[in-house]
């Protein structure tokens, strides 16, 4: 069996670490071609020691030089590069078979798009790619023959529950509805009057999943689920009215598909990202992921509730921008990234996140998503406006 050469974008984050754990379990199937991180030099160096990639990439030249010195001192042949151009190149080189796209936020857009344009197997964990540029990205996948496999646990579950030929259309396949599950986050039952005092530490304490700080806050506001609604629209060519969010606190059913014959097909499992990662890496085969099998007797019960759109205003905003189209989703994503960063820095209260997002959307008109430049321009404009609104103290 020929080894697959894999570039891991975001190797020091939670998805990247889980990806490397799956690779570690299958050295005969996978080889690490490139490891790419933002700024965690120590962690990336440890990964280089173990996996000995051909390339490693960091954000800026100074960090890259430090990593390069350490690699040379350890006798590693790994070539260290820096910057966005390196990410783009190492996602599209002929030697690369597959790309794990796990860079958080808008920073992952260009290298992931480059991988699609190079016809790679793209394992998509960065939902912002489809949120910001869904039409452009899906066009690139189709035009260049890339294989797109969703890694988000919910979209991976939907992918598993859909028929193999779902690309011919969900309605012709008998699909009535996509059921996108959400845990409800740590504040599902918190009185609305108490949400104004939520701290970053509380927001990052997800009840079921171990995730990074940004995605944990998005889960607490349900913006993460809103972004997943937009992602599902593009992945499965599903209109918004066919995508229903279902609050499921146990996070055992990762999502489901409802068919016109009354059937509901769901994917169940323990909340461990190695399951969808392994599925995406080996598809259409299945390989061991190191995840304990689900024990239904321990689960005992499964609960389901409709989402509270008043409590989770960010979820409603996601549906709104999906209907509006164009650059509206990119504007929302950019404003939210600024809002979450400000909340984590204690410059914005928790309830200021949806308020800031809505204010930026109201101030910036959406334009057609004509090109990557249009998307990046809307992203930059929204970030600048969001930051200025925070500085003005409008949502303090």
| Residues 121 and 252 grouped into a single domain | no
> How many independent structural domains does the chain possess?
3
Using the structure block, give the residue that is written with the tokens 């966005």: 84
Q: What does the pLDDT look like over 365-387, one tens digit per residue?
A: 999 988 999 999 999 999 999 99
| Residues 11 and 143 grouped into a single domain | yes
Angstrom distance (rounded) from CA 33 to CA 351 = 42
231 close to 131: Cβ distance less than 8 angstroms: yes
Domain-embedded: residue 279:
no
| Residues 361 and 346 grouped into a single domain | yes
| Residues 159 and 302 grouped into a single domain | yes
| Residues 170 and 216 grouped into a single domain | yes
- The pLDDT score that the predictor gives to residue 105 is 77
Domain-embedded: residue 114:
yes
Q: What does the pLDDT look like over 309-361, one tens digit per residue?
A: 989 999 999 999 999 999 999 999 999 999 999 999 999 999 999 999 999 99
| Residues 95 and 170 grouped into a single domain | no
Domain-embedded: residue 316:
no
Beta sheet of 175-182, edge-to-edge order? 243-247, 175-182, 253-259, 264-268
- The pLDDT score that the predictor gives to residue 207 is 67
- The pLDDT score that the predictor gives to residue 209 is 61
| Residues 164 and 305 grouped into a single domain | yes
- The pLDDT score that the predictor gives to residue 213 is 86
Q: Say whether pTM exceeds 0.85.
A: yes
Q: What does the pLDDT look like over 50-78, one tens digit per residue?
A: 999 999 999 999 999 999 999 999 999 99
| Domain hosting residue 335, numbered range | 325-396
Listed residues 124, 150, 176: the one ending a domain: 150
392 pLDDT band, cuts 50/70/90, is confident
| Residues 142 and 176 grouped into a single domain | no
Using the structure block, give the residue that is written with the tokens 């984050």: 13
- The pLDDT score that the predictor gives to residue 164 is 92
- The pLDDT score that the predictor gives to residue 104 is 81
Using the structure block, give the residue that is written with the tokens 């820096």: 82
- In whole numbers, what is the pLDDT of the chain averaged over residues? 95
- The pLDDT score that the predictor gives to residue 386 is 97
Of residues 279 and 216, more confidence is placed in 279
Angstrom distance (rounded) from CA 8 to CA 21 = 12
- Distance separating the N- and C-terminal Cα atoms of the chain: 58
| Residues 20 and 146 grouped into a single domain | yes
Domain-embedded: residue 354:
yes
- For residue 156, the tally of other CB atoms under 10 A from its CB is 26
CATH for 378: 1.10.1740.10
- The pLDDT score that the predictor gives to residue 192 is 87
130 pLDDT band, cuts 50/70/90, is very high
Mean pLDDT is lowest, of 5-19, 196-210, 211-225, for 196-210
200: which residues sit within 8 A by CB, 6+ positions away?
213, 217, 343, 344, 346
396 pLDDT band, cuts 50/70/90, is low
Listed residues 150, 173, 188: the one ending a domain: 150
- CB half-sphere exposure, 274, CA atoms < 13 A: 18
Domain-embedded: residue 197:
yes
- The pLDDT score that the predictor gives to residue 208 is 65
As a whole-number percent, the residues of the chain with pLDDT over 90 amount to 88
Give, in order, the Cα–Cα distances in Å from 48 to each of 12, 17, 54, 68.
Answer: 11, 12, 9, 11
Q: What does the pLDDT look like over 272-313, one tens digit per residue?
A: 999 999 999 999 999 999 999 999 999 999 999 999 998 999
Angstrom distance (rounded) from CA 319 to CA 223 = 11
Angstrom distance (rounded) from CA 360 to CA 382 = 7
Listed residues 118, 150, 182: the one ending a domain: 150
Burial classification of residue 75, based on how many CB atoms lie within 10 Å of its CB (0-12 exposed, 13-18 middle, 19 or more buried): exposed
Using the structure block, give the residue that is written with the tokens 């350890």: 74
- The pLDDT score that the predictor gives to residue 370 is 82
| Residues 225 and 108 grouped into a single domain | no
């Amino acid at each position: 069996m020929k080894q697959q050469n894999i570039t891991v974008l975001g190797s020091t984050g939670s998805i990247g670490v889980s990806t490397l754990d799956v690779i570690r379990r299958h050295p005969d199937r996978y080889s690490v071609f490139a490891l790419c991180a933002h700024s965690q030099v120590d962690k990336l160096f440890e990964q280089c020691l173990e996996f000995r990639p051909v390339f490693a990439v960091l954000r800026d030249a100074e960090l890259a030089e430090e990593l390069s010195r350490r690699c040379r001192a350890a006798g590693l042949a790994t070539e260290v590069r820096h910057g966005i151009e390196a990410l783009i190149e190492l996602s599209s080189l002929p030697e690369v078979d597959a790309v794990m796209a796990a860079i958080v936020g808008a920073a992952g857009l260009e290298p992931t798009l480059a991988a699609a344009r190079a016809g790679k197997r793209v394992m998509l964990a960065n939902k912002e790619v489809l949120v910001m540029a869904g039409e452009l990205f899906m066009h690139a996948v189709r035009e260049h023959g890339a294989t797109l496999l969703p890694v988000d646990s919910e979209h991976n579950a939907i992918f598993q529950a859909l028929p193999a030929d779902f690309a011919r259309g969900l309605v012709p396949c008998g699909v009535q509805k996509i059921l996108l599950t959400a845990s409800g986050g740590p504040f599902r039952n918190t009185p609305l009057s108490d949400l104004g005092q939520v701290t970053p530490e509380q927001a990052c304490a997800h009840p079921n999943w171990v995730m990074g700080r940004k995605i944990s806050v998005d889960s607490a506001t349900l913006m993460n689920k809103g972004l997943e609604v937009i992602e599902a629209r593009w992945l499965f060519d599903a209109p918004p009215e066919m995508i229903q969010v279902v609050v499921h606190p146990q996070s055992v059913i990762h999502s489901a598909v409802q068919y016109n014959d009354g059937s509901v097909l769901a994917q169940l499992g323990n909340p461990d990202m190695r399951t969808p990662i392994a599925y995406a890496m080996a598809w259409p085969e299945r390989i061991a992921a190191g995840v304990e099998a689900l024990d239904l007797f321990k689960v005992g019960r499964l609960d389901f509730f409709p989402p509270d759109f008043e409590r989770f205003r960010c979820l409603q905003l996601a549906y709104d921008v999906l209907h509006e189209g164009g650059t509206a989703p990119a504007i929302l994503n950019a404003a939210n990234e600024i809002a979450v960063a400000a909340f984590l820095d204690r410059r914005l209260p928790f309830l200021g996140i949806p308020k800031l997002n809505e204010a930026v959307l109201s101030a910036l008109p959406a334009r057609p998503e004509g090109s990557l430049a249009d998307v990046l321009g809307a992203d930059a404009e929204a970030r600048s406006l969001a930051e200025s609104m925070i500085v003005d103290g409008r949502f303090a």
